Structure formats: C-alpha cells, structure tokens
A and B are shown apart, each in its own frame.
Chain A
Amino acid sequence: MSSVHQPQTLAEEALAAGRPGVATSFRFHRPRGPICGRGHCFACEVETSAGRVLACQTLATGTQPRRRRLRRPLGRIAERWPPWFYERRFLRTEAMRRASLGVLRRASGAGRLATGFTPVAPRAFAEVEAETVVVGAAAPEEDALVVDLAAGNLALGVYPGRVLGALHEGRLLAIRFERLVIAAGAYERLPPIAGNDLPGVVGLAAAARYAAAGALPPGTRIAVWGPRRAIAACEELAARHDLSLVWSDTRPPHALSGRGRLERLHADVEIRCDLFVTGVSQPAIELAMQAGAQVSLTDDGLPILAVTATPDWLSMRGGAAARSSEVPAVAAHDDAFACLCEDVRVRDLRMCVAGGFDQPELVKRRTGAMTGPCQGKLCAAAVLTVLREAGVEAAPTTARPLARPATLGELAAHA
C-alpha cells in the first residue's frame, strides 16, 4: 500500500523527483540534501526569492530555490587545502593579501541577505515562574509548562539562576523554574565513512516522515545502518510504503558514493541505493550542558555524547537520556565529513591534532567544526571521537545558547 499523500515541502518534492541535492555546502560547495527533516541540521538551507529557508520546513508552492552550482570548481580547489589554508606563506605581499581577503569574503556558499524588509514589531519580554518546565514532547505532567517545538515554541537556552529562555506564544520568556525536564529527543549520528554527506543520507525519523508524505516513490531502494530496532523500524517502513530494503546492518558500509547524490553503497559488495538511513542517535544534550550537566563520550560501541550526571533539579527523558549508540565502533575514514555546516573532514581534524591543536576548544576554532548553524548537534561526538583516537580524552566545548537558531526578527524584544 503506498501513500496517497502528495509531497508538500521543497525537500519532499526534491526527494520525490530523485534530486535530493537541494542545497550547497559552505566551504566546498558540495551538493547537500535534507538529513533531519526537522530543521536542526541546516544541511538543506536554500536561497529563495523570499530569503533563505530550510527546504524541509518550507512549502514548495510558490517558492523557487536558487543554487549557485557554478561555484563547485572553486570548492574542488578548496578541498585540497586544510581549513587553515590561509595561514602560512599564502600570498606574500600585503597588497596581494588584501586582494585575496576580498575574494575570500565572496567565495563561500553562504546565501545572500534579503533585499527587502518588513518592519518587525518587537515582542513583549516577560519573566514568569513555573514549578516544572518540560522541553519537548514528554508524557504530560500536571501543571508543567511545556516548551515544545511541535507547538511552535522554541527553547533558546538555560541561563544562570534556573532560567529557561524561550520564544513562547509570541513572547520572549524568561521562565524561572524549580524543575526542568528535557525530552528534546535525539539527532542523527552520521556514519564515519566516505560519502556520508551525500544527498540521500537521512535520519530515521526523516525517512519515516518522507515516506508518509509520499516523497519516496514505490520501489525506492533504501539501506539502513543502526541498532536492531532501527532496522526493524525500517523493515516495517519499507513494507508499508512499498520501498525496497536493499541493505541493513549495525556496522556501516565501507563507503557511500554517487554523483551529486547517493547512488551506491559499498559494503562487501556494491549495492545501488537511493536512500541511506542512519538509525544511530545522538541525544539532544545541549540544554542539559547549559544547565551544568556532565556530558561525556560513551565508551561502548560507536561513541556518542551522553549525559552522565545532572543537577538534582534536571531530568532527562526519552531519546535525550540515551546512554549508548547501540552499534559497534568503527574507525573513522579520512574522507568522512565530521562537521557538515563548515565542511570539516576527519582528515582535517587529524591534521589539526597532529599540528598540536589537540583540545576540543582549539580544534573548534582552528577548523570551524561545531561553529555552524547546528552548533555541533550532528558533529560534536564525531569530533571528540577523532580526538580520542589521537589519545586525547576531553570534555566537549562550552555549551552556550542558542539551542536552535532563531532570526533577529523573532528575537527582537523589549528586554
């Protein structure tokens, strides 16, 4: 039985048409597609006539994405250099350096600023008190104030003095709480293999949503990497939507490949596939870290960042509380992307560490990893895993708000 739904968002439409590569990456101008489907990975950000939007959150009707494909050759040159390419003996004379910085400013894959504007009415700012605050969709608690993205409310960060900052029903709220429950779910942990950034690599939740939305035509070949229950979920998904499950394992394949999009999976044999599902989860820990929880890299199987101790007023629920990836560890491949927002590969991280920049705070600043719009949601565990391989056991970098990006227009308030 296939779905009767029609693709609605830009991402769904692109997947249905077999062209998941809607976006271009920041540094290498590589094709990128939707991964999370929920607006946190920012891999599908596209420029449209109406400004910059996430393809997975934007209705296709009346929106025309623009892509600057011509810059890909520039990206191929950039791929030969480390992120700190500018550093040494790059253009000797001052005049040349000045000119090169002018070029550099224009060379990224970032979108343009909207040309017009509509005046923004600043929000009201309010301080409220709540016994219990729940972030995410946990089982409802009596009298709890719920800040759930699904209802359009955004948790910005945990501030000193047990305050949760939120955009809530049209107000910028400082919520003073006694108890905080974090049930913000989990993010996608990408496989540490070559080709892991190809359009067509998606999370499990995104795959389910796209299938339900009719974006995956019957016969779509899907592969899944993840714990047993993720594989079972994919089998069910395939049966329900007439998809063809061509490969599944708790160990990732050796590589993924394709031209402009995912086409092949390289395990012991080469398999053609259209969609690679990652069923491995990275708990949503950023709010807990801001609240002072202890977080460390797990040491069973493929490492993820998990909360190991919390203040007594903080509790973690559901996917956010997970303590294991439940899949075996594999060594990261040099060509794998650790950070998608800033195009940082495992190779770059290894070179960075070998150059003496061997602490997370240094790696972050030298490579740009974890500084993009996702702020390390997808990559922090991958970066720390590479450091661990090099013998450096370290805590993640300082967690700061915002938990999720918000526009200046949304944040403007009489505060």
Chain B
Amino acid sequence: MNAEKETKAYVDPANLRFAKTMEVLTLIGLATFVVIGILYFSGIHDLDSLSTVTQNWNKPSAEFWSATTGANIGGVGWFANHWSCSDALCMLCVGFLGLVPFFSIALTLPKALRRYKVVFAILTIEFAVIIIWSLMFGAGGVG
C-alpha cells in the first residue's frame, strides 16, 4: 500500500521522491558512520590521540588543530592530506550526511511541477556553490 492510500490525501510525487532519496542516503550515511566510528575508537590510524584531543578541546577550532597537528585547517586540502586517517574519514561521513538534502533536492527536480523546477534548480545551484566554495576557499572568515 503506498503512502497516498494510507494517508487518504494526495501527496505530491515530488514529496515522495524527496522522501525516498533522503531516507536511503541517510541510512547509507549512518551505516558508514558506525563503521568509521568503530575504527576511530579502536585507535586505528587516528590523526590525534584521544588524550591529546581532551587536553586541547577547550581551545577555539583553529587553535585546536594548530596545537594538536600543527596544521592550519581549512578547505579540501586538509581532507586530501589526511584521507586515510579515521578522524578525516569520520568527518567525510559527516560531509556525506551534509550532502543528503542536496541530492534530495537535485533528484527531485525532474519530478517537480514546472514552476517548481526553476525553484529547485536555483536551490541545487545555491547548495552546490556553498559546498564548492567551502571546500575550495575553506569557507572564509576564520583564520
């Protein structure tokens, strides 16, 4: 029985596409996160030891990373340089969860009504620009 019959109300097909995409991608993201989380707490190839983290976690983010790794964090370079560390992999999983609404919007576009195709296209571009700008320029501001 589909959702429309269950609710006795018409549900826009775009709503259903958005829901399905979000549901599946969130499950994938969470499952991956659990695996990476286990790796992290097992201490397999961590960037920072747990004791270093707890000694420095009262510092602002930029100062924290500078004190613990000597690196100036920001942008895609940080992930690229530490891609095999469980810390970075964990953050990539968070990044994946942050992409779920982007994919949900983008994949709903073909199902949307004509006037909403424009709105969804704007949203997709806006979201993509935010992600690319964050990765390329480290989101600016902090330094």
A and B associate in one complex: no
Task: List residues of chain A with CB under 8 Å of any chain B CB.
Answer: none
